[in-house]
Amino acid sequence: MVTDKKRVKGEGLLEIKGLKIDGFSDDIWNPIVKGIDLTLKRGEVLGLIGESGAGKSTLGLAAMGFARPGCRISAGSIVFDGIDLVKATEEQRRALWGSRIAYVAQSAAASFNPAHHIIDQTIETAVSHNIKTREAAEADARDLYKRLQLPNPDTIGDRFPHQVSGGQLQRAMTAMAMSCRPDLIIFDEPTTALDVTTQVEVLAAMRDIVEQFNTAAIYITHDLAVVAQMAHRIMVLRYGNLVEEAPTRAMLKEPTQDYTKSLWAVRKLQKPESIIKDIALRIHEVDASYSGSHKVLDNVTVQVPRGRTVAVVGESGSGKSTLARAITGLLPPSKGEIYFNGKPLPKALADRDKDTLRRIQMIYQSADTALNPRQQVRDIIGRPLEFYLGLTGADRDRRVVELLESIELDESYIDRLPNEMSGGQKQRISIARALAANPEIIICDEVTSALDQIVQEEILSLLMRLQRETNVSYLFITHDIATVRAISDEIVVMHQGKVVQQGPKSKVLSPPYPAYTELLLSSVPEMDPDWLTGLLAKRSMKAKTTA
Amino acid sequence: MSTATAPVRTIKARRTVMESVRRNLKTAPLTAWFGMIVILLYAICAIFAPLLAPYGESEVVGKAYQLSSAQNWLGTDQIGRDTLSRMIFGARNTIGIALITTLVSFMLGGSLGVLAALKRGFLDQGISRVVDAFLAIPVLIFALMMLAVVGKSLVNLVLILALLDATRVFRLSRAVALNSVVMDYVESARLRGEGMGWIVFREIVPNILPPLITEFGLRFCFVFLTISALSFLGVGIQPPTADWGSMVAESKSLISFGRATPLYPAAAIALLTVAVNFVVDWFLHKTSGLRDGH
């Protein structure tokens, strides 16, 4: 960023020394953060990155002098503008929170009270800390909405949280954090839950506003490309230790540690596309709607070739998950036909026979909810074997172990419960469950979006290997273009229930694009600190020329 | 496929129920042990009452209102029956009836609750509104009314209390099952083509069992108190059958003479209630994954 020198003033704002934080589990205190030093100057944006469990959120909260329930700060000091937050009383810390240190959480939808107007929640802290009068605070909130480029800044505050979109709510939360003009804002994965197209707007708005008020910020994320746009300096964390720390540009150019390099190296996975004519599943001019007349799927035609991967991309609300429900029979289409191996598939789930059900399997986004928490791996994977193939007893168990081995886990996992495994392992179990039925098609609904990047990579290469071995077709629903690029043969772009574009990967991912595909592709953050600035400039240029 | 040629392997066996029980017991806190031991002692009293009690249930062994003595450890009641023997037989009647009542109410309320959550729509609305109507009337008054209508028999008592309790169990099991039926694993089972039985008993019930078992413990105590209250009012368990509630009722006037007689059955009720709750607390703590506020 060009303004680095001007913004980052010499004055230190936050200084953390030798910080150790423990978490209580299984009746003992386990270290989560293991002695970290951190300094932050006024106006500086520091990026904290790492996989889940790296301790980045814990460290971010500790910068406020706050330890989550079940955690304690066991050593070290946190000095914020001359005040030691570890030694400070609860009273003193509470006086700082909200007014001088603010926090923006990942899920704005969960952080807003659904029963109050947005503006009342935006100004609540400023009014309760007696910083401003209600009128002044409201006027200021409207000004902030405007600066954050929210539509109708004068009236949007009178809406309830559910009446605005996720991206708008996230910006409203940033306005809330800004309402007291804090010295420090902590952003905890603020755009992780948003679509790429929305993410761009939110990132730009957040970057702008901290710049305008010269606010220091700690930006926590697992997305390198995002942090590259936001931060002046990056700290890489792993297992509660600092791996590497450097200014953004230097870090992106020449990471020194192996772990950092491995983070940089992900997404090198690339499958050569191959097209065949043998169609396993054909969705023909399908309409579907939940209740009422609004069509969630509008005249959708998609073909899935045998042994290949078709990626369905689009933002949330584009109808991609509904397409999966239509195929599986959970939401029978109101018009159109679905052909499976050339024969029409009964529309409703109840009308399909066991063998048809066996051939179409599904893997869900969140293995946490897709695996019954009370069933052991033995039963989770064993049930389809028993149900479809009639395997029982020792035969069944042996097949379960074979399946475990094919997903690169071993026999020791057989009596584990889902909560005794990591996110990646659970997703592997989901894959094994689908595979147990010997399916012809697996519908993968955002199967990697809840996972860390390195784990995503492992899961994707596992899926690709299994496809080579069993010739199964994947209908891969995702909003992540990088994933699409890695694994698909064909791509279907969906927008508002309609298919915008469909074709082989090489064709869809190269110009000329339809307008929506272009917007979607250009919104994917790149590992270049100037990407966001460049993109915004390009878009405003375009807007001018079209106007 | 390599299955035909692969050497036959022995896969490690499932952990048995006994092993899991033993593992859990190892970590039980002191309060839970206290609760379990008390419940066990009560159970022994109830099961082996004829062997343990020095005299028969309604056997007149001496003069009325005797103080404690070597023959009658806790003295005698208003017509000269041995209080200790009646306490021991009372355990059998009171606990036995409470247990049966709670079981019936859980089978009824639990299955209807899960069914309503799974089917939704008309069935759910229908059952829920009927339950609402029941819940609008206080339990004790409703029970008294029903007993007056159908007559004071033991079977009627059990059925009426079970029905009234089932309304509360229904509410709870419907609410917790609603959280479970929307989960992807239930959808996954439906997509697999599983029948209603599998979905209810293998997918949903294991997940809603912890709150239900906890509720079972609490409901058991409440039923037990309601029976005691009804017996105290004279419409519960009928004489000469011994039961703790009516024993308190019969000897209540003695309290003004400084005698502890009514306190013995009252203490028996209190101790069991506390013991059950200790065990329930432990169970709740084990299954809910709640952490202490460190």
Residue A286 domain flag:
yes
Name which of A267, A242, A263 is nearest A252 in CA terms: A263
Asked if A414's CB is within 8 angstroms of B185's CB, the reply is no
A28 touches chain B (CB under 8 A): no
Residue A338 domain flag:
yes
A249 and A317 assigned to the same domain:
no
A151's tokens: 């539509």
A362 and A257 assigned to the same domain:
no
State which amino acid sits at residue B10. Answer: T
Taking the C-alpha atoms of residue B205 and residue B195, their distance in angstroms, rounded to an integer, is 14
A307 and A378 assigned to the same domain:
yes
Q: How many CB pairs under 8 A join A and B?
A: 78
- Tens of each residue's pLDDT in chain A, 547 residues: 434 444 555 678 899 988 898 887 767 888 888 888 988 988 899 999 888 778 888 888 888 888 888 888 888 889 988 888 888 888 888 888 888 899 988 777 788 888 899 999 999 888 888 888 899 999 999 999 988 888 888 888 898 888 887 788 888 888 898 888 899 999 988 887 777 888 888 888 888 888 888 899 999 988 888 888 889 999 999 888 888 898 988 888 888 888 888 777 655 667 777 778 888 999 999 998 877 667 888 899 999 999 999 999 888 778 888 899 999 998 899 889 999 998 999 988 889 999 999 999 999 988 888 999 888 899 999 999 999 999 888 889 999 999 999 998 888 888 888 888 888 889 999 999 999 999 999 999 988 877 877 788 889 989 999 999 999 999 999 888 888 888 889 999 998 889 988 889 888 888 778 888 888 888 888 878 888 888 888 888 887 777 6
Q: At what angle do helices B83-119 and B263-288 cross, to 10 degrees?
A: 30
In this structure, what CATH number is given to the domain that contains residue A462? 3.40.50.300
Distance from CA of B15 to the nearest CA of A (A): 8
A257 and A327 assigned to the same domain:
no
Write B264-268 long-range contacts (CB < 8 A, 24+).
Answer: B264/B74, B264/B83, B264/B87, B265/B87, B265/B90, B268/B87, B268/B90, B268/B91, B268/B244
A352 and A237 assigned to the same domain:
no
A243 and A294 assigned to the same domain:
no
Nearest beta carbon to residue A398 from set B11, B190, B194 = B11
Asked if A349's CB is within 8 angstroms of B187's CB, the reply is no
Nearest chain A residue to B9 by CA distance is A398
Nearest chain A residue to B206 by CA distance is A374
Nearest beta carbon to residue B12 from set A328, A329, A411 = A411
If one counts the domains in chain A, the total is 2
B26 touches chain A (CB under 8 A): no
Distance from CA of A354 to the nearest CA of B (A): 7
Residue A301 domain flag:
yes
B138 touches chain A (CB under 8 A): no
- Check: CB of residue B193 under 8 Å from CB of residue B238: no
CA distance to A166, A418, A508, per residue, from A475 (Å): 27, 25, 17
Distance from CA of B36 to the nearest CA of A (A): 23
**β-pairing verdict for A216-221 and A233-238:** unpaired
Sheet strands (E) in A81-232: 83-84, 101-104, 184-188, 216-221
Q: What is the CA angle A39-A45-A49, rounded to 5?
A: 80
Taking the C-alpha atoms of residue A531 and residue A223, their distance in angstroms, rounded to an integer, is 14
Taking the C-alpha atoms of residue A413 and residue A392, their distance in angstroms, rounded to an integer, is 19
ipTM tops the 0.90 cut:
no
Residue A145 domain flag:
no
A246 and A375 assigned to the same domain:
no
B17 touches chain A (CB under 8 A): no
Return the residue in A372, A397, A426 with the most chain B beta carbons within 10 A, the one to mutate for interface testing. A372
- Alpha helices by DSSP H, listed for A231-296, are 248-253, 258-265
Taking the C-alpha atoms of residue A32 and residue B175, their distance in angstroms, rounded to an integer, is 36
Chain B neighbors of A349, CB-CB under 8 A: 190-191
Asked if B185's CB is within 8 angstroms of A372's CB, the reply is yes
Residue A285 domain flag:
yes
DSSP helix/strand/coil, A27: coil
- Alpha helices by DSSP H, listed for chain B, are 17-26, 30-47, 49-52, 83-119, 121-135, 139-150, 154-181, 184-192, 196-198, 205-233, 244-251, 263-288
Asked if A369's CB is within 8 angstroms of B185's CB, the reply is yes
Taking the C-alpha atoms of residue B106 and residue B217, their distance in angstroms, rounded to an integer, is 11
A238's tokens: 């792993």
- Check: CB of residue A513 under 8 Å from CB of residue A238: no
Chain B neighbors of A400, CB-CB under 8 A: 11
Residue-number span of the structural domain to which A84 is assigned = 14-97+232-262
Residue A505 domain flag:
yes
**β-pairing verdict for A297-305 and A279-288:** antiparallel
A310 and A349 assigned to the same domain:
yes
Asked if A24's CB is within 8 angstroms of B11's CB, the reply is no
Asked if A372's CB is within 8 angstroms of B207's CB, the reply is yes
Check whether the bond before A511 is cis (ω within 30° of 0): no
- Check: CB of residue B251 under 8 Å from CB of residue B193: no
A330 touches chain B (CB under 8 A): yes
Residues 6+ apart with CB under 8 A from A200: A523, A525, A532, A535, A536
State which amino acid sits at residue A73. Answer: I
Domains and CATH numbers, chain B: 29-51+71-288 (1.10.3720.10)
A358 and A500 assigned to the same domain:
yes
A304 and A424 assigned to the same domain:
yes
Residue A417 domain flag:
yes
Using only C-alpha atoms, chain A has a radius of gyration, in whole angstroms, of 25
- Check: CB of residue A495 under 8 Å from CB of residue A502: no
A448 and A372 assigned to the same domain:
yes
Residue A248 domain flag:
yes
A243 and A386 assigned to the same domain:
no
